[in-house]
Chains A and B, each alone.
Chain A
């Protein structure tokens, strides 16, 4: 009977209405797979759909031009779209309304927290597919404002949500929710630690409380770290808690897994975190160098390369000195280190140490072979000379003699320029 009803509904508006605009048969359908625009006029559009479509266009214009008051005014007229009788679930419109509303609230001068709460709660319960995402966004918002407890409460409510097939299909989002709830537990733990360290009479009850949070947090953090991904804030918080409770084995294991597991996407930060942890716990230089070696491969311009080069410099092996030279030169390949005094001084000390070997010239020319064409333009032009002499004379003092060593054949213009008149 439903099909019949639909047919009758169409029947009810006469066909004379339809082709008012499309009298010519010349409109061609595009053969390309174009996105179905939401704001396009369909031929048999009802007045209701026309109103909502035009309203949406106006909202979009207002948003694009940052006319927030106007956007809010039109947004007051738009929710009738949710009541569209011909629309099945209204799925895309619910998401649209959610996102546009929050955007307007972010920017409108009169928006208050209760407005946010209102919108989030309404849209959460308007459908099942977006429930978890909206919960997450709501708790993020509360987190940004500083209502940590509320944020945690939101996520706890979301954690206990079950809705048959939907919750099964969204298991990844549920994992995210678990993870963020644990992060919030960690933040609360930090607060408690801070207050505890500030009070004169630490209460054992506080300790127990802290420990509870630690336990709650660590369960989920451990879980999320099993999935391949980039989990930097989670791992940092976990390791910090583990260090506090002096569970070094676990911390090391977690960091190693994070850095060396090949199923995880390559993440330089993982190695940085591992290195920093090892440094904090007085590891041997060999081990430190091993970690930094991989980091060097991933990010040659990383600032830790300076430390790497100093480690290499301190070692006794010949090959290490040459490696150090390579490391520093690769750093200087990047323009961000061009004006950095420390790097150039390191280069100077490396070369000085290298000069104790006999074949230092070969080593240097070997490294410079690939760089001969473009290093002068990168570092040693007269423009650089004038700039350095004005802004950074110490740098110039370090750089100038190096030009002779690095590029003995070339006539470079990197000299102290004559001071122009007008001083």
Chain B
């Protein structure tokens, strides 16, 4: 039997009762044993039809009865399972350790299924009937999932009230969605909290949690960048599901995405997920871990072409702000139920360090640069002016490249998925037109559509002397004029430190005053902020708020809550009073200029 051509048509032949169909040249079905030709024809859809050549293509009459799909029945979380697996494989290919997939992600997924009562539970949330059909009763998926039979309904009143409607509509499930429980997935959302049910955004949140657990140096912004560049499947990830799982109808509402979610959104999702899953305390993130600011800042300093000599300063600021402690960075459900944003925190630390050493008030840094230029004998002194010019040119071309990437990115799938099955022909027609136009212009411009995929890299810029470098490297330069030796301790020459009002906004009322305040901030600071925003791909407001938070910690600014935390921190700082760090901090407090 020509499986491909007959597409699973399994009705017995009227004459000889055999099920052995073939397709003749004209596209008609015929029984191979008795050569009985039936009225069924194979639909001919020719995408390469060029108008202007008057060729008539045969039009099939279509099926009379809705033939059962040759796929198998599947549920939504199975689909997500496959997608997660593909994403994990992609990450493994990029160099993440295999423990990530086997030990951590799998386990997290199972915990999730259990907590959301979609599997590994005695009372499942879904009541879609898993009627055993004649041919394809293969409901045993490859993954280790325990599938429960239909008759078990749970005692949940919500679910039982939907049971009637679901059971009624389950007989025609094949018409509104490819999966069994898409309808219940979507309707149950309204009635219960959203946290239980899976979404594409949650896959990223799960990945992020797993990465944090094993302390891979892949931060959330790195993960999102890999997704944006296409190294990790996300947009149109459903296309890689196995053939037997057919998607249509309402599945589109769940699996189709039109945006890559923002940093804030995924972080929030991860936060709620972590609480929902009631995970135990994470493995502690010590100073040796690559997610800790002590080591993560090295990477960011290198990416921003800042001298390595700045790293000790970053560490000192970190200690002063009380951020060296691993407890701050480790998620603990009882003691510290906040998932830290490692990338933002580290970037904020670096910005505060730059402010400390160079002032960044539109005057000090240029004065220091002048001094460096005047006094520099070896040519090895770091000058903010030279650094700014270098990085600015690289930044503008990188921003232009990113914009081109955004413009050229193709979002549409090869097999479009539309919630409304009736509109499918319209969708297909538009797709054909779009494809033809695309081919025409690809030929004209001799350049294929779509953004070119860059090689994956943790770094945005490449500094050095090689080919393709964005500029010469300043990592080996020294902070000659910027720091001086005072009482045997290295201190910055710059003796003032400015910061805007540190009063925290009420969390519910407003999120950030950045756009109101931006015009009053020094341009160097704003530029540095935007540099790191580009590196991390976050909006300036987030990074600005994180900088303020760091400054609050640094200055011991009181907050309404967490007073014990403040007390604890001050004790730590008091303990370090003997060293240069504490003294320096006191001096800052004396001479700080508050700027509104």
Contact present for A23 and B510 (CB under 8 Å): yes
- Neighbour of B512 across the interface among A23, A47, A57, A58, CB < 8 A: A23
Contact present for B253 and A5 (CB under 8 Å): yes
**Closest B-chain residue to A54, C-beta based?**
B407
Taken together as a complex, chains A and B put the C-alpha atoms of A150 and B575 apart, in Å, by: 92
**Closest B-chain residue to A7, C-beta based?**
B190
Nearest-CB distance from B162 to chain A (Å)? 14
- Neighbour of A8 across the interface among B253, B259, B433, B514, CB < 8 A: B253
Nearest-CB distance from A2 to chain B (Å)? 8
**Closest B-chain residue to A12, C-beta based?**
B199
Q: With contacts A14-B269, A58-B404 known, what are 10 further pairs, Cβ within 8 A?
A: A11-B189, A20-B539, A23-B510, A26-B516, A76-B449, A83-B412, A83-B427, A111-B444, A115-B443, A126-B433
Q: For A101, list chain B residues within 8 Å (CB).
A: 437, 441
Nearest-CB distance from B251 to chain A (Å)? 12
Contact present for B418 and A85 (CB under 8 Å): yes
Which residues from 253 to 297 on chain B have a C-beta closer than 8 Å to any C-beta of chain A? 253-254, 256, 258-262, 264-265, 268-269
Is A75 part of the contact surface with B, judged by Cβ < 8 Å? yes
Contacts A8-B189, A85-B418, A125-B51 given; indicate if A72 touches B513 (C-beta within 8 A): no
Q: For A83, list chain B residues within 8 Å (CB).
A: 412, 416, 427, 430-431, 434
**Closest A-chain residue to B250, C-beta based?**
A5
Q: For B186, list chain A residues within 8 Å (CB).
A: 5, 8
Q: For B235, list chain A residues within 8 Å (CB).
A: 47
Contact present for A69 and B445 (CB under 8 Å): yes
Contact present for A72 and B445 (CB under 8 Å): yes
Is A19 part of the contact surface with B, judged by Cβ < 8 Å? yes
Contact present for B440 and A115 (CB under 8 Å): yes
Q: For B437, list chain A residues within 8 Å (CB).
A: 75, 79, 82, 97, 101, 119, 122
Contact present for B261 and A17 (CB under 8 Å): yes
Q: For B410, list chain A residues within 8 Å (CB).
A: 77, 80
Which residues from 23 to 66 on chain A have a C-beta closer than 8 Å to any C-beta of chain B? 23-24, 26, 46-51, 54-55, 57-58
Q: For A81, list chain B residues within 8 Å (CB).
A: 434
Q: For B409, list chain A residues within 8 Å (CB).
A: 47, 51, 77
Is A21 part of the contact surface with B, judged by Cβ < 8 Å? yes
Is B1 part of the contact surface with A, judged by Cβ < 8 Å? no
Is A16 part of the contact surface with B, judged by Cβ < 8 Å? yes
Is B448 part of the contact surface with A, judged by Cβ < 8 Å? yes
17 contacts between A and B (CB under 8 A): A5-B250, A11-B189, A23-B512, A23-B513, A24-B513, A47-B258, A51-B407, A54-B403, A54-B406, A76-B448, A77-B407, A79-B438, A82-B430, A83-B416, A105-B444, A118-B436, A123-B433
Contacts A13-B261, A90-B430 given; indicate if A118 touches B539 (C-beta within 8 A): no
Q: For B254, list chain A residues within 8 Å (CB).
A: 12
Q: For A74, list chain B residues within 8 Å (CB).
A: 407-408
Contact present for B412 and A80 (CB under 8 Å): yes
Taken together as a complex, chains A and B put the C-alpha atoms of A101 and B52 apart, in Å, by: 19
Contact present for B513 and A119 (CB under 8 Å): no
**Closest A-chain residue to B442, C-beta based?**
A76
Q: For A117, list chain B residues within 8 Å (CB).
A: 52
Contacts A74-B407, A83-B431 given; indicate if A16 touches B442 (C-beta within 8 A): no
Q: For A123, list chain B residues within 8 Å (CB).
A: 433
Is B316 part of the contact surface with A, judged by Cβ < 8 Å? no
Q: For B262, list chain A residues within 8 Å (CB).
A: 17, 20
Is A232 part of the contact surface with B, judged by Cβ < 8 Å? no
Taken together as a complex, chains A and B put the C-alpha atoms of A47 and B406 apart, in Å, by: 9
- Neighbour of A55 across the interface among B408, B513, B515, CB < 8 A: B408
Contact present for A73 and B513 (CB under 8 Å): no
Q: For B448, list chain A residues within 8 Å (CB).
A: 76
Q: For A2, list chain B residues within 8 Å (CB).
A: 420
Q: For B260, list chain A residues within 8 Å (CB).
A: 47
Q: For B435, list chain A residues within 8 Å (CB).
A: 79
Could you tell me the dominant secondary structure of chain B's interface residues?
helix
Is A250 part of the contact surface with B, judged by Cβ < 8 Å? no
Contacts A8-B253, A13-B261, A17-B265 given; indicate if A55 touches B407 (C-beta within 8 A): yes
Nearest-CB distance from A408 to chain B (Å)? 72
Taken together as a complex, chains A and B put the C-alpha atoms of A6 and B396 apart, in Å, by: 39
- Neighbour of B449 across the interface among A26, A48, A77, CB < 8 A: A77
Contact present for A73 and B430 (CB under 8 Å): no
The 7 residue pairs across chains A and B that have the minimum distance between CB atoms: A47-B259, A72-B445, A76-B441, A79-B434, A46-B258, A121-B51, A55-B407
Choose among A47, A81, A115 the residue with the greatest number of B CB atoms under 10 Å from its CB. Answer: A47
Contact present for B444 and A14 (CB under 8 Å): no
- Neighbour of A47 across the interface among B269, B411, B419, CB < 8 A: B411
Contact present for A5 and B419 (CB under 8 Å): yes
Contact present for A23 and B515 (CB under 8 Å): yes
Contacts A8-B186, A46-B258, A82-B430 given; indicate if A76 touches B445 (C-beta within 8 A): yes
Choose among B199, B265, B269 the residue with the greatest number of A CB atoms under 10 Å from its CB. Answer: B265
Which residues from 293 to 324 on chain B have a C-beta closer than 8 Å to any C-beta of chain A? none
Interface string of B98-128 (1 = CB under 8 A from A): 0000000000000000000000000000000
Contact present for B450 and A77 (CB under 8 Å): yes
Q: For A46, list chain B residues within 8 Å (CB).
A: 258-259
Is A348 part of the contact surface with B, judged by Cβ < 8 Å? no
Choose among B440, B539, B541 the residue with the greatest number of A CB atoms under 10 Å from its CB. Answer: B440
Interface string of B392-434 (1 = CB under 8 A from A): 0000000000011011111110001011100000010011011
Q: For A119, list chain B residues within 8 Å (CB).
A: 437, 440
Q: For A47, list chain B residues within 8 Å (CB).
A: 235, 258-260, 409, 411
Q: For A108, list chain B residues within 8 Å (CB).
A: 444-445
Is A160 part of the contact surface with B, judged by Cβ < 8 Å? no
**Closest B-chain residue to A112, C-beta based?**
B444
Is B499 part of the contact surface with A, judged by Cβ < 8 Å? no
Taken together as a complex, chains A and B put the C-alpha atoms of A9 and B445 apart, in Å, by: 37
Contact present for A80 and B411 (CB under 8 Å): yes
Is A110 part of the contact surface with B, judged by Cβ < 8 Å? yes
Which residues from 91 to 132 on chain A have a C-beta closer than 8 Å to any C-beta of chain B? 97, 101, 104-105, 108, 110-111, 115, 117-119, 121-123, 125-126
Is B447 part of the contact surface with A, judged by Cβ < 8 Å? yes
Taken together as a complex, chains A and B put the C-alpha atoms of A50 and B410 apart, in Å, by: 11
Nearest-CB distance from B10 to chain A (Å)? 32
Is B511 part of the contact surface with A, judged by Cβ < 8 Å? yes
- Neighbour of A16 across the interface among B50, B194, B265, CB < 8 A: B265
**Closest B-chain residue to A71, C-beta based?**
B445
Is B201 part of the contact surface with A, judged by Cβ < 8 Å? yes
Contact present for B444 and A72 (CB under 8 Å): yes
Contact present for B511 and A23 (CB under 8 Å): yes
